[in-house]
Amino acid sequence: MRLNQLSAIAATAGLAISASAGVVRIGASHDNTLYETSDGSLSNGAGQHCFVGVTGQPKARRALIAFDIQSAVPPGVQIVGVTLTMHMSKTVAGPTEVTLHRVTNHWGEGASDADDAEGSGAPAQPNDATWIHTEHDTYYWNQRGGDFDPTPSNVSIVDGVGDYSWGPWSGMIPDAQAWLDGTSANNGWILIGDESIDSTAKRFDTRENPEPANRPVLRIDYFPPCIADWDMDGLVNTRDVLAYLGEWAAASNSADLDQSGNVNTYDLLIFLNYWTSGC
């Protein structure tokens, strides 16, 4: 069979099999906002929005977000791409950097739910993360504003209203791999905007947003433990070729078997070589 025929099969089979191998997309398990206050009185655990940057007052805002990777990604796989996509829904600021850092302390999401545009936050409720608390009002961050790895896992420029992504190649890959393997506690990421000047705030939508398309999504691309058994059902057969071709036709990171940065016929040949060899 010629490559273009295989590709045509993949294009038609792709939708049906795209969830079965190599790629998963998951919603956030919890998210929240740290509102800069000396007493840790504000949070927005159940709110529709979260915030980064600095308001006009000026007070800083930082967003926390976590995903239950272990329940969504098969154990033993090699993660080769991690992409966080969030919808930015309100700002008065121009383009600003929003960095993403691995959080190093457990934090909570309580029942606080701010009114209106949510920029002012709401009274913190039990278990809510605040500027000073990991969980209101019992546990505290070591550093006000959250405990996190000072080295960013990724950075993105955020401008006007729309969808923004972090990834797929970055420190987010080792973060997610360690969370999957259980070698590092999964406390998610903190998003930090431009805190060097005033009026840089950006509002993003949370997992509680009423519009499902605007909720945060984490896409994870991975290589199965045995490449030949692409759909991971324990058998090596034509279903695996079709499953791989689905990712190949979509140019997924998961199909970039030589990790060259692009998906081409070399990757397909590598897959077929694995496939003819079996597991």
Per CB under 5 A, residues contacting Ca ion are: 31, 109, 206, 229, 231, 233, 235, 240, 256, 258, 260, 267
Min dist. Cβ of residue 199 to Ca ion (A): 25
Taking the least distance from each CB to Ca ion, the nearer of 117 and 235 is: 235
DSSP label at residue 192? E
Min dist. Cβ of residue 94 to Ca ion (A): 27
Min dist. Cβ of residue 36 to Ca ion (A): 18
Taking the least distance from each CB to Ca ion, the nearer of 167 and 224 is: 224
- Please name the amino acid found at residue 94: G
Give the integer Cα–Cα distance in Å for 161 and 68: 27
Nearest CA to 59 out of 199, 205, 227 is that of: 199
Taking the least distance from each CB to Ca ion, the nearer of 127 and 194 is: 127
Torsion of CA 178, 182, 187, 192, to 10 degrees: 0
Min dist. Cβ of residue 252 to Ca ion (A): 11
- Please name the amino acid found at residue 241: V
Taking the least distance from each CB to Ca ion, the nearer of 194 and 223 is: 223
Indicate if the alpha-carbon torsion angle 32, 36, 37, 39 is positive or negative.
positive
Min dist. Cβ of residue 255 to Ca ion (A): 8
Helices 3-17 + 238-249 axis angle, to 10: 90
Taking the least distance from each CB to Ca ion, the nearer of 109 and 194 is: 109
- Nearest residue relative to Ca ion (C-beta): 260
- Please name the amino acid found at residue 206: T
Q: Provide the β-strand partners of residue 42.
A: 123
